[in-house]
Structure 1
Amino acid sequence: MRAVVVNCTLKSAPEPSNTETPADVVAGEPRARGVGITTYRVVDENILPGVQTDMGQGDGWPRIHRSLLDAEIPIVATPTWVGHPSSPAQRVIERMDAILDSEQGRDWSHKTARAMASNLYAVAEALAAQPVPAPPE
């Protein structure tokens, strides 16, 4: 299995990022189970504006796009500013639109949505049966 973390922090590497810390925590569980993790820091990639898979020479998105299609676990980590995702996250959302434009993309998004819905139900059912106490302070 593979997971892709798309870190939408506003800070370039190697500057510490408050978004990276929770993304690492989220990725830690699949990593502990043997899942390969690939991480991209969006601001360090040259992701051109647009809604196509490849916007031309110098576009860094096609590599990330391929990784997302090959991954079973996509993770988009973003800071929020007054309730909105960061501008790099908005760019990622716009570029992911190309995934939905092809028949393969719709199949991928439907498969992912069905898996997510099934997982949400399974987790809700498990939590109803055995609630998890709040972490100690």
Structure 2
Amino acid sequence: MRALVINCTLKPSPQPSNTEALARQVVTALQGHGATVDIVRAVDLDIRPGVENDMGGGDEWPSVREKLSSADIVVVASPTWVGRPSSVAQRVLERMDAMIGETDDENRPVAYNRVAGVVVTGNEDGAHHVISEICGALGDIGYTVPGQAWTYWHLGPGPGPDYLDDDRGHDWAASTARAMASNLFHTARALTEHPVPAPPS
């Protein structure tokens, strides 16, 4: 089982990423189930705006698209900014939009029989909104989003400290991350054993 985490922080490497720190809780749990996990920090790549698999001119999205092609599990991890997913997350989802029109050898949308989940961090309110926006987009693309396939860390309304700077709420976020990983892994395994057929024509 292969998993891909796309970290949509606004912070380029090597800056510490709160979003990646929480996402690594999910990574560790997935690895505990036997999954192989890759992490991509999207902001480090030259991902051009657009809705095609390759926008040309040095566009680095094709390398991410290749990883998506081999991943049974995809996790989109985003901070919350002004109550919404990051601009990087929006660009990633827009580029994934190209997958909607692609089918496999059995005429199924390429995201069918793959699962997806969400990780969110932020020192303001809005986690559930970000989760619903990203889950909705992933469902449109064709991914199966299991129940409770998310974790988040927020301290509530208003500005405050970051995930890496405050220990409050970490136990809950980690517990939810473990549940998320279990739900993703076992749903992906079930779909591997009993795949969804192509839609009726």
Aligned to 1:107: 109
Structure 1 alignment gaps of length 5 or more: 122-133
Structure (1/2) with the larger helix percentage: 1
What's the secondary structure of 1:77's corresponding residue?
strand
- Counterpart CA distance in 2 for 1:52 and 1:23 is 27
Aligned to 2:147: 120
- Counterpart CA distance in 1 for 2:143 and 2:18 is 29
Map Cα deviations across residues 31-73 of structure 1 (whole Å, 9 max, x no partner): 1222111111011011011000000131110010110121001
Aligned to 1:83: 83
What's the secondary structure of 2:21's corresponding residue?
helix
Aligned to 2:98: 98
Structure 2 alignment gaps of length 5 or more: 115-138, 149-170, 173-201
Question: 1:52-91 residue pairs with structure 2 within 5 A?
Answer: 52-91=52-91
- Counterpart CA distance in 2 for 1:36 and 1:77 is 17
- Counterpart CA distance in 2 for 1:18 and 1:68 is 23
Aligned to 1:129: none
Map Cα deviations across residues 89-114 of structure 1 (whole Å, 9 max, x no partner): 01001000001122339523333369
Contact kept, 8 Å, 2:48 with 2:59, in 1: the verdict is yes
Contact kept, 8 Å, 1:46 with 1:59, in 2: the verdict is yes
Map Cα deviations across residues 65-90 of structure 1 (whole Å, 9 max, x no partner): 11012100101100011221001101
Question: Aligned letter for 1:80?
Answer: T
- Counterpart CA distance in 1 for 2:112 and 2:80 is 27
- Deviating above 6 A after TM superposition, structure 1's stretches of 4 or more consecutive aligned residues are none
Contact kept, 8 Å, 1:100 with 1:106, in 2: the verdict is no
Q: TM-score, normalised by structure 2?
A: 0.55
What's the CA shift for 1:22?
1.0
- Counterpart CA distance in 1 for 2:143 and 2:5 is 18
Q: How many residues align?
A: 122
Aligned to 2:187: none
- Counterpart CA distance in 2 for 1:4 and 1:80 is 20
Query: Which is worse superposed, 70-79 or 29-38?
Result: 29-38
What's the CA shift for 1:26?
1.2
What's the secondary structure of 1:56's corresponding residue?
coil
Question: Aligned letter for 1:53?
Answer: N
Question: 1:18-37 residue pairs with structure 2 within 5 A?
Answer: 18-37=18-37
Identity %: 45
